[in-house]
Amino acid sequence: MTTTQHVLDYAFNQRAILAGAMIGFLNGYLGGYVVLRRAALFAGELSHTLFPGIALGALLAGLNPLSALVGATVMALVVGLGAQGMASGSRLDHNTTLAILATAAFGGGLLVLRHLGLYVRLEDYLFGNILGLSDFDLWFTFGVGLLTMVALLAWQRPLLLFLFSRDVASTQGVSVVRMDFLLAALLVLTMITSLQAVGAILTLGLLVAPAATLYLFLESPRGILWGGGLIGAVVSVGAVFLSNWWNVQTGATIVLLLGGIFVAAYVVSPQYGLLGQLRRRLRPRHGGV
């Protein structure tokens, strides 16, 4: 108890707990869509473009949340659409072009950051610094989170239809192109808010791990979405405490915990896990039709 009280005594810890709950929930919830879309790789490459985007924004308009948001959005669009454009109608596939453009942009971002003398904050951008958040950062996170959640809830039905089958969704009047862009835009927004907490490198784990864990147990998309949000929030808040007690980095603690939970889930899941597979292999199968 005293140690818990000790953690809560500090304003930066209080902000970190609030931020952890919001960012954890947002990532866990949105991550459900990413997992169901099987788009973790795409999200990973997108997260690589955030950092050079922020560097670009800082180069043009100084380092602030707005320039970071605009820069990262522009960079994600340029790299994402550029990769798509280069791949369409050529023998190259989308993953190849995206990998090259995203890493090239990342390299450019490193150089720009050094040029601007912001290199000392590099570690914050890559791995996050949830204890360094200001009140403004919290409000920014809250605003973006609210916007994202409203959009996701409003378009939940067409989004789920689209994730299940583009063909079926399309014949039911869902604009699949619009859904693609909606998800990508919300991903960029969410990743930018998460950058301060878990950084460009680690944000992917926070995004994907909670939903992937539940994907091993649940047969309901809504269960995966809300449950993912819950796991993301609880683990992030827990990690703030643990990292305080152990005196380690919070962002790394969050994704390490989530990774551990995912691996444990993979082992024990009766339907889709390792033990379940072993049990089924040992037992003769019923002739399924």
What is the binding site for another protein (CB under 8 A)? Answer: 36, 38, 154-155, 157-158, 160-161, 163-165, 167-168, 170-174, 215, 218-221, 223-224, 288-289
- 52: Cβ contacts below 8 Å, ≥ 6 apart: 75, 105, 106, 108, 109, 110, 112
Cα 254 from Cα 16, distance rounded (Å) = 12
Name the residue nearer to another protein (CB basis): 117 or 173.
173
- Distance between CA 281 and CA 14 in Å, rounded? 49
Q: Least separation, in Å, of the C-beta of 268 and another protein?
A: 18
- 228/230 Cα distance (integer angstroms): 5
Smallest distance from another protein to CB 217, Å: 9
Cβ neighbors of 105 (< 8 A, separation 6 or more) are 48, 49, 52, 53, 75, 79
125-to-88, 192, 200, 205 alpha-carbon distances in Å:
32, 10, 6, 15
Nearer to another protein, 18 or 151 (CB): 151
- Helix runs in 88-175, H state only: 94-115, 122-127, 135-154, 156-164, 166-171
Smallest distance, Å, CB 157 to another protein? Answer: 6
Yes or no: say if 40 and 216 are a contact pair by the CB < 8 Å rule. Answer: no
Least distance to another protein, CB of residue 95, Å: 19
* Shortest Å distance, C-beta 251 to another protein: 29
Of 39 and 130, CB closest to another protein? 39
Minimum CB distance to another protein smaller for 35 or for 237:
35
Handedness of CA 3, 261, 265, 29 (dihedral sign): positive
The smaller minimum CB distance to another protein, of residues 145 and 158, is found at 158
Return the number of the residue (37 or 94) whose C-beta is nearest another protein. Answer: 37
**DSSP annotation of 119:** G
Sequence-distant (≥ 6) Cβ neighbours of residue 192 within 8 angstroms: 50, 68, 69, 72, 73, 144
Q: Measured from the CB atom, is 112 or 224 closer to another protein?
A: 224
